[in-house]
Chain A
Amino acid sequence: MTPEPLISLRGLTKRFGGFQALHGIDLDVEAGSVVVLIGPSGSGKSTLIRCINGLVRPDSGSLRVAGRPVDLGDEGAWQRLRTEIGMVFQDYALFPHLTVLRNMTLTPMRRLGLSRAEAEAQARALLARVGLAHKAEDHPSALSGGQQQRVAIVRALAMRPKAILFDEPTSALDPETIADVLDVMRGLARDGTTMVVVTHEMGFAREVADRVVFMAEGAIVEEGPPAALFGEPRHARTKSFLSSLRPEALHA
């Protein structure tokens, strides 16, 4: 018997006014795996990833995390879930009025019950891991985009999450800093962190993903291991999307 997936979605739908953003999504994310969502803009990737931690409330369907069902209508349940599932955004979204260290200690102190000393020690260790220990006392505005994004990743790690959702983490970055952020994410994948990643970095998807999911018009068109999905896409829609990408994007 295969173990139950860490995250399991069944029949998830979301409508914004007259626009059906998600049509009955089924998706499983195994513990320790990296699932990459790709697809054209407006295909529902970001909406889907936000439905996993309730930043967007699904209209119907079911969500199970670590074997427990999540009550989709209960904000308290979502708040508890968010302490277990981290998220990294496109625009880093560090808190500009707090130092890097305080950005990383605020929630662990309030949610995990760490003392200030414990939270700061943890934060400094995590910052050292991404080469930013010397920036602990700075405010985010003193950091480059790539550095801010690395802080955002370790800020999510500081909550010791079961999984981390990445919503286009490199889309807002300069080309030269993208590599640093992808390196950090590769490291996480090697360490067995469960990750769901929305990205346009096809090279990263090919290299790191255990499974690639292609979405279009609010539905999953096809999914599979990267070699199969990139090498022999079955669906015409997937083929046309992949052929619209620059060749180097696929093999980077």
Chain B
Amino acid sequence: MDLLVKNLPFILQGLGMTLALSLTTLLFVTVLSGLLGVLATLRFRSLRVLVRVWVELFRDIPLIVNIFLVFFVAPLAGLDLTPFWAVTVGLSLWGSANGAEIVRSGLNAVPRHQWQSAAALGLKTWEVYGFITGPQALRAILPPFVGLLTLLIQATSLGALVGVGEFFKVGQIIVERTTMMEGWNPAFLVYGAVLVTYFVICSGLSWFGRWLERRLGRPQARPVPAAAASPAPAPQLP
């Protein structure tokens, strides 16, 4: 315990970095997923193909390879990214590919006649998405999407591999430093604390997702259409 108290500023710094990494990534992933998911349902074939390529390209590359690719290849293209931004971009590319697929399948699960009757009333395309199909799709999108965000928070620990001083990396450093300087191995204690912290953050997010789901579910008594009842499964970490 003494060890944790002694390293508290260092730990908080790492925790802050993890939270910053998570929030930035979640923001990018949410915006990009929404945008790409909507583009994938528009009637323009070229846009749909473009999104398909994005999704297949980044979803099928292991996450760690994605991050290394950005970290090592971006400088060759003249983009000098800090480790923080390399990780953010790598996670966002992978996350948006998976998120777009969740949004697309959620929107496609809204019965087609909803789109038709909204259009038949004279609503513009963005209004149909904003007022009619979007809100209805949200219930199908939310659970797998929160699952994806939870995965991404966990995946920020991969930042340790390219030298981002985030929470997991800080834990590693404390273990190594203590083992070398003080002659005892605090791995169990430190990684235990790391585990509990990630658990608290991620379960908090899951709880928030379920709360949001209940709130959205309440006024709409009609059961979700059969197609929407089986939304895209949450992606797995490659």
Q: Point out residues on B near A: beta carbons under 8 Å.
A: 113-114, 116-125, 127, 131-132, 135-136, 219-222
The answer to whether A55 touches B116, judged by C-beta atoms less than 8 angstroms apart, is yes
Residue on A nearest B116 in the bound complex, by CB: A55
Q: Which residues of A contact B (CB under 8 A)?
A: 53, 55, 75, 79-80, 82-84, 86-87, 89, 91, 93-97, 106-107, 110-111, 139-142, 152, 155-156, 159
User: When A53-B120, A79-B124, A159-B121 are in contact, do A95 and B222 touch as well, CB less than 8 Å?
Assistant: no
B113 to chain A, nearest CB (A): 4
Is B122 a contact of A139 with CB atoms below 8 Å?
no
Q: List 9 A-B contacts (CB under 8 A).
A: A53-B120, A79-B124, A89-B116, A94-B117, A95-B132, A95-B136, A106-B121, A141-B222, A152-B117
Question: Bound complex: CA of A62 vs CA of B197, how far in Å?
Answer: 67
Q: How far, in angstroms, from A79 to B118 measured CA to CA in the complex?
A: 11
**Chain B residues whose C-beta falls within 8 Å of the C-beta of A83 in the assembled complex:** 121-122
Bound: A53/B121 CA distance, A: 10
Q: Which residue of B lies closest to A152 (CB)?
A: B117
**Complex CA distance for A140 and B111, rounded to whole angstroms:** 15
Which residues of B lie under 8 Å from residue A87 when comparing CB positions?
117, 120
Q: A80-B122, A82-B122 are in contact. Are A95 and B114 (CB under 8 A)?
A: yes
**Nearest 6 interchain pairs by C-beta:** A83-B122, A141-B222, A93-B117, A87-B120, A82-B122, A107-B121
Contacts A95-B132, A96-B222, A139-B222; A86 near B127 (Cβ below 8 A): no
Contact status of A159 and B122, CB under 8 A, knowing A96-B136, A141-B221, A141-B222: yes
Contacts of A141 in B (CB 8 A): 220-222
